[in-house]
Amino acid sequence: MMATSTMAGQKHLKAKVCLVGDVAVGKTSLIKRFVQDQFDDRYIATVGTKVTKKSLDVVWKGAPATLDMMVWDIMGEKGFRALLRDAYFEGSQGVIAVCDLTRKDTFYDLNNWVQMIRKQVGNVPMVFLGNKMDLTERLVVSQEELGRMGSIHSAPQFLASAKTGAGVAEAFRALADAIGNRGSE
C-alpha cells in the first residue's frame, strides 16, 4: 500500500484493485458504471489490461484518508488467464470477484478465481458481486448461494446491475473500506 500525506495532513493512499470472473460477466461495464456512472451496452473484449482510477474517502489507521482505487480490467478468456495472471494480480490490494446471476457456471467458477488469487497475492480483501440482477426473469443464482460463497471466504457479497447502477458503488465502497481497515490492524 502506497501512503503519502497531503498538505492538510490527510493521508493519500493508492491501492491496486482487480476484477476477476468469467468472460462476459460484466467486469468492464461494472468498472465503467463505478468510475463514470455510465453504462455501455456494447461488449468490447478487453485486450490485455486497462487501468481506471477513482478516489474514495476511507478511514486509515483511525484517521480520514483518500484512497485512489486503481481498478484493473483483464480479459476473462481462459487462455489469457495463465498468460496475464502473474502481472495482473501482482501487488493487488483488493479483488472484486464477479459472476453473472443468469449463468450458473460463472458462479461455480468463482471458486477457481478465488484459489488463483489466494495463491498469487494471499489473503487480500475481497468482495463477491453478482451482476445483471436487473434480468429478473433469467436469474439462476440466488442471493443465498452468493451469501454462502461470501461466508465461506469471509467476504461481503452484493447483488448488482451495471445497467441500472444498483449495488455497484456499494460493492466498491465495501472493498475500499476493507482495504482501509487493513491499515488499522
Domain extents in the chain: 2-182
pLDDT-above-90 percentage for the chain: 61
pLDDT of 88 over the 90 cut? no
Residue with cell 470472473: 21
Query: Would you state the pLDDT for residue 80?
Result: 62
Query: Would you state the pLDDT for residue 87?
Result: 76
In terms of Cα–Cα distance, which of 110, 25, 37 is closest to 73? 25
- Mean per-residue pLDDT, 17-40: 87
pLDDT-above-70 percentage for the chain: 83
Confidence grade of residue 27 (pLDDT, cut at 50, 70, 90)? very high
Phi and psi torsions of 39, nearest 5°:
-130, 130
| Fold observed for domain 2-182 | Rossmann fold (3.40.50)
- Mean per-residue pLDDT, 48-56: 82
N-terminal to C-terminal alpha carbon distance within the chain: 14
Task: Write the DSSP string, the chain.
Answer: -EEEE-TTS-EEEEEEEEEE-STTSSHHHHHHHHHHS----S--PPPSEEEEEEEEEEEETTEEEEEEEEEEEE---HHHHHHHHHHHHTT--EEEEEEETT-HHHHHTHHHHHHHHHHHH-S--EEEEEE-TT-GGG--S-HHHHHHHHHHTT--EEE--TTT-TTHHHHHHHHHHHHHHHTT-
Mean pLDDT of the chain: 87
Say if pTM beats, i.e. exceeds, 0.75. Answer: yes
pLDDT in tens, 115-158: 988 998 999 999 999 999 999 999 999 999 999 999 999 999 99
